[in-house]
């Protein structure tokens, strides 16, 4: 093996290293069919949830889900329906965090992704909506 050959190999390895580094800084994949289906489902679900956030009946939990904050704000006849909406939303959210981790080949990132979403949902929530602070108390934004 001569010197130029050796140098070529070293350069090749360095390039591979930079390539990997660049890949790690790039965007997370969110374009799989499973993620697209969950996004569509959540968008539909949100049409019914929006007034419940606004009234304060439902709030954003600190763990990236949503929860019933004040059942008294929901007429008795609608409570079962609202509970179903919340259950559906949380099922979608759990599946979304899991799917994004899986789509990126890192199932162990699920909890990190959930924590990131938890923070971003609250950050992007509209004024007047309720969210849970880090100690679990409901706060009006």
Partner 1 sequence: MHRGGRSVVTALLGCGALCACVTINIYFPAAAAERAADRIIEEVWQLQPDSAKPPAGKPAGPQ
Nearer to partner 1, 6 or 128 (CB): 6
- Stretch of 66-74, 80-88, 133-141 lying at the interface with partner 1 (CB under 8 A): 133-141
The set of long-range contacts for 79-85, using a CB threshold of 8 Å and a minimum separation of 24, is 82/52, 82/57, 82/58, 85/45, 85/48, 85/49, 85/52
**Which residues in 5-44 contact partner 1 (CB under 8 A)?**
6, 10, 13-14, 16-17, 20-21, 24-28, 30, 39, 42-43
Q: Six-digit token pair at 12?
A: 């090749």
CA distance 9 to 15: 10
> Residues 92-111 vs partner 1: string with x where CB under 8 A?
----x---x--------x--
Out of 46, 51, 83, 128, point to the residue binding partner 1 (CB under 8 A).
Answer: 46
Sign of CA dihedral 83, 88, 93, 98: positive
DSSP H/E element including 19: helix 3-25
Q: Which residues bind partner 1 (CB under 8 A)?
A: 3, 6, 10, 13-14, 16-17, 20-21, 24-28, 30, 39, 42-43, 46, 96, 100, 109, 112-113, 116-117, 119-124, 131, 133-134, 139, 141
């Amino acid at each position: 093996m001569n010197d130029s050959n050796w140098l070529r190999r070293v350069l090749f390895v360095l390039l591979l290293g930079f390539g990997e580094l660049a890949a790690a800084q790039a965007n997370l994949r969110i374009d799989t069919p499973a993620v697209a289906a969950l996004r569509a489902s959540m968008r539909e679900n949100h049409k019914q949830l929006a007034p419940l956030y606004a009234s304060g009946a439902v709030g954003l939990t600190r763990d990236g889900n949503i929860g019933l904050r004040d059942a008294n704000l929901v007429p008795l006849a609608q409570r079962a329906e609202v509970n179903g909406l919340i259950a559906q939303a949380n099922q979608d959210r759990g599946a979304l965090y899991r799917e994004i981790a899986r789509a990126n080949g890192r199932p162990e990132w699920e909890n990190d992704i959930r924590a990131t979403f938890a923070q971003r949902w609250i950050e992007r929530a509209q004024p007047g909506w309720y969210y849970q602070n880090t100690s679990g108390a409901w706060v009006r934004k």
